[in-house]
Amino acid sequence: MFDQIFTNKTSSATLNAALKRIYNNKSELLLVLDRPDIPLHNNGAENAIREYVKKRKISGSTRSESGRKCRDTFTSLKKTCRKLGVSFWQYLKDRIENTRLIPDLSDLIRQHALNPG
């Protein structure tokens, strides 16, 4: 059915080009049928960078490479904590005070991967 739809020729050159482009990407587009775990959208990736983009627009970016690395690291930690249901500020406080009441994020990620839900 896919081949029948996307190999049709129409009177529109623009539509024909779009149909050909879709047909040429058939294997990638239908991969989800073999791998239902693949998301049908890229919202996760979009959301992951949204906070960074907003800060960059407001502040005009960072002044140094060190500042960029710092910002990226803290943004990544904050996002990871949020995904794992851990308070970012409590996590930072736990690490600064060296109380180690909150497990390492890597351990929490492993636990989450083994027990999703």
Q: What is the pLDDT of residues 28-78, one digit of tens each?
A: 888 888 888 777 777 776 776 777 677 777 777 677 888 888 888 888 899
Q: What are phi and psi of 85, to 5 degrees?
A: 75, 25
Domain ranges of the chain: 2-34, 43-114
Q: Which residues contact 50 (CB under 8 A, 6 or more apart)?
A: none
pLDDT at 116: 67
* DSSP-H helix ranges across the chain: 2-6, 13-24, 26-29, 31-34, 43-59, 65-84, 88-96, 105-114
CA gap 22, 11 in Å, rounded: 17
The tens digit of pLDDT for each residue in 4-16 reads 999 999 999 999 9
The tens digit of pLDDT for each residue in 20-39 reads 999 999 988 888 888 887 77
